[in-house]
Amino acid sequence: MDLTHTGPVVILFGGVHGVGKSTLLSGAEYPGDDVAFFDPGPLFIEHLYRRRDKSSSEIERMVSDELIALGRGHPLVVSNWHWAVWTRNGYVPQLAAEEFLRFLTRSRPCCLYLVEVTAPAELVLARRLRDAPIRKRKLDLACVREEAAMSDAFRYRCFTAAAEVCPAQFVDIINVELAEGRRKTRTLFNAAYEIGRHHRQ
């Protein structure tokens, strides 16, 4: 923790589609009422696909603005995240490099956790097949592995950029057994919350 950074602890809770991020987050026991949670996904769905009234870069600005605003009043900010997002032009990061750096330099987190929730590709595919009636995802093992590889690559790029701005570290959560995944998530949130609270005192 670097006391020259005045912002909150930020957890970007990432992983491929179907790995179980939302399940872990929905069942999370947050350590305090002042923990902020943000999911950028609905903004992209609403404005990029439903209304079609904003560009990707405009939505990314909305996302970074929201993260910056949340950081002003909370010791811990948790965001559901996708390190790699599929587009017609291939995979791209959730936030473009310049927008990611804008978020970091303006929110000045005292610590940034770049989380990757993982599970074997075969298990991720099985979860996608189970959810196929309600969620549109690629149902191919090679695609799962490709997304996982791109997720790793983009997370590393984000870490490299973040390390120049604020204290940052990788956290991997293996989500094979739900109870164990939730235990590891709870442990991370509790530790991060204590850091954030201590930093703000």
| Mean pLDDT confidence for 53-77 | 96
Residue 24: pLDDT above 80? yes
Average pLDDT over residues 27-53: 93
> pLDDT-derived band of residue 134, with 50, 70 and 90 as boundaries?
confident
Higher pLDDT, 2 or 151: 151
Distance of CA 67 to the CA centre of its chain: 11
pTM of the model: 0.94
Token pair listed for 27 = 């069942």
In this prediction, residue 4 has a pLDDT band, given cuts at 50, 70 and 90, of low
For the 9-200 domain, the top CATH level (class) is: alpha beta
What is the DSSP code string of 46-105? IIIIIS--S-HHHHHHHHHHHHHHHHTT-SEEEEE--SSEEETTEEE-SS-HHHHHHHHH
**Sequence ranges of the domains in the chain:** 9-200
